Amino acid sequence: MKITETEIEGVVIIEPQVFGDERGYFFESFSQREFNAAVRPVEFVQDNESKSRYGVVRGLHFQQGRHVQSKLVRVVQGAVLDIAVDIRKGSPTFGKYVAVELSEENKRQLFIPRGFAHGFSVLTPEVIFQYKCDNYYNRESEGAIAWDDPELAIDWRIPADSVILSEKDKHHPTLSVAPGLFDYNEDLYK
């Protein structure tokens, strides 16, 4: 696998080696041994999948406290713009984000470490999105930031009048007042 570092330390793009011929293609989508050696030691415990249509924006979500999560995300069908926002107070990149297009064609994956909010916008008629998490989801530990926070100024690559949100995602606070953010100096992997 090819690892590409982004402008925010710890957030990396992973591209698998794809073997194709007249039958189709094959690639190893995940190897715990290779991931731990190339990215960081993480034990994934939960896999999730969602299906969405064009215009859907999911995010910006995170798990607070002892339920904090790293995520390894990828697209099986369609394409998304995937976003990871640094929400570690005191970080030199606090409030900055990485935006990466993930698609069934490019087969890229994005690793989002603990201490980041995550979201994506659906760029194709339909998308099937998969993610691995290194901690179990806990409803009481949900945290989120407004997808349209003017200070973040994320270009979701969807016209604002075409954005489709869940009822919850319509009412999240901006980063400047969001509760449950992380401390950059705290080891979130202890």
For the chain, the structural domain boundaries read: 43-183
Q: What is the distance between the alpha carbons of residues 184 and 150, in angstroms, rounded to a whole number?
A: 23
pLDDT computed for residue 63 by the predictor: 97
pLDDT, tens digit, 9 for 90 and up, residues 33-78: 999 999 999 999 999 999 999 999 999 999 999 999 999 999 999 9
Phi then psi for residue 99, to 5 deg, are -125, 125
State the catalytic residue, choosing from 97, 118, 131, 172: 131
pLDDT computed for residue 89 by the predictor: 97
pLDDT, tens digit, 9 for 90 and up, residues 89-143: 999 999 999 999 999 999 999 999 999 999 999 999 999 999 999 999 999 999 9
Q: What is the distance between the alpha carbons of residues 169 and 152, in angstroms, rounded to a whole number?
A: 16
Q: Which two tokens stand for residue 17?
A: 């080696």
State the catalytic residue, choosing from 61, 97, 118, 172: 61
pLDDT computed for residue 75 by the predictor: 98
Catalytic, 171? Answer no
pLDDT, tens digit, 9 for 90 and up, residues 5-36: 999 999 999 999 999 999 999 999 999 999 99
Mean pLDDT of 78-95: 98
pLDDT computed for residue 22 by the predictor: 95
Rg (CA), the chain: 16
Q: Which two tokens stand for residue 112?
A: 């989002």
Catalytic, 118? Answer no
pTM exceeding the 0.85 threshold for the entire prediction = yes
At the fourth CATH level, which superfamily is domain 43-183?
Answer: Jelly Rolls (2.60.120.10)
Q: What is the distance between the alpha carbons of residues 183 and 190, in angstroms, rounded to a whole number?
A: 13
Residue 37 near residue 72, CB atoms below 8 Å = no
pLDDT computed for residue 26 by the predictor: 94
pLDDT band at 180 (very low <50, low <70, confident <90, very high): very high
Q: What is the SS3 string spanning the chain?
A: CEEEECCCCCCEEEECCCEEECCEEECCCCCHHHHHHHCCCCCCCEEEEEEEECCEEEEEEEECHHHCCCEEEEEEECEEEEEEEECEECCCCCCCEEEEEEECCCCCEEEECCCEEEEEEECCCEEEEEEEECCCCCHHHEEECCCCCCCCCCCCCCCHHHCECCCHHHCCCCHHHCCCCEECCCCCCC
pLDDT computed for residue 147 by the predictor: 98
